Amino acid sequence: MEYTWNFTSVFAYWNVLAIGLLGTVKLFIICTFLGLGGGLIMGMLRYSKSRWVSYPAMLYVEVFRNTPVLVQIIWFFFALPVLTGIEVSPFLAAILGITLNTIAFSSEVFRGGIQSIEREQWEAGKAIGMSYAQTMRRVILPQALKRMLPPLTSRGIEVFKMSTLASIVAYPEMLQQAKLIASYEFNPIEAYTVVALVFFVVLLPLVQLTYMLERRFGKSDA
């Protein structure tokens, strides 16, 4: 069976796609900023010597790391209003689901990066009179960040792709807008192909940046 591609019917709705791209970028920026910032805090809590601090942090990480993001978004959108009486918009439900999941995964990146720093570095900070917090801020984190940048960049890429899950609650991101176009023009193949191409064009430079960071910091640690 021969299929005739017709992308004209997709690009005729360029304004619909633009709204979707803007919605995707908004989700990406907010969820990445909150997710990585929260991940740093959660990673430091996980590294705490106090069980009263590290155990709740570990529980949080395991809950959100071992449940699907899609289910989390649906739960926040449908269950939270029923349980609390607080209305949750599609945008907020998507932010909550993606951000809380990103915090859980990125916290392990931060924790692993901190643990990778030799114990002598901690002892050196203590020897010159630094407190735990000062040693963490001035000695440990600057060194650990070099090792964490590649996986954190990869995490950002995952956040961009996870934005498509927001379509389950009808948030106007790229996939949701493609669904609208497909329902108008009956051209799902072309509509979803365009979405895939947009993601490829946006993410390819980020992927190359990840490779560059891995090569650069891999050499510096050698």
Query: Given CA atoms 206, 209, 215, 220 in this order, what sign does their dihedral have?
Result: negative
Cβ atoms 135, 126 nearer than 8 A: yes
Residue spans of the domains in the chain: they are: 10-221
Q: What is the pLDDT of residue 218?
A: 63
pLDDT at residue 18, rounded to an integer = 96
**pLDDT averaged per 10 residues in sequence order, the chain, 222 residues:** 87 95 97 95 86 93 95 96 94 97 94 86 86 84 84 91 96 96 94 96 89 72 56
pLDDT confidence of residue 175: 96
pLDDT for the residue 126: 85
CB 204 within 8 Å of CB 158: no
pLDDT at 33 (0 to 100) = 96
Residue 114 in tokens: 């901190």
Buried b (16+ CB within 10 A) or exposed e, 27-64: bbebbbebbbebbbebbbbbbeeeeeeeeebbebbeeb
* Architecture per CATH, 10-221: Orthogonal Bundle (1.10)
What the block records as the tokens of 33 is: 């900023």
Decide: residue 145, CB within 10 A, 0-12 exposed, 13-18 middle, 19+ buried. middle
Residues 26 and 34: beta-carbon distance below 8 Å: no
Confidence (pTM): 0.89
pLDDT digits (tens, 9 = 90+) for 101-147: 999 999 999 988 888 888 888 888 888 888 878 888 888 888 888 88
For the chain, give the secondary structure using H, E and C.
Answer: CCCCCCCHHHHCCHHHHHHHHHHHHHHHHHHHHHHHHHHHHHHHHHCCCCHHHHHHHHHHHHHHHCCCHHHHHHHHHHHHHHHHCCCCCHHHHHHHHHHHHHHHHHHHHHHHHHHCCCHHHHHHHHHCCCCHHHHHHHHHHHHHHHHHHHHHHHHHHHHHHHHHHHHHHCCCCHHHHHHHHHHHHCCHHHHHHHHHHHHHHHHHHHHHHHHHHHHHHHHHHC
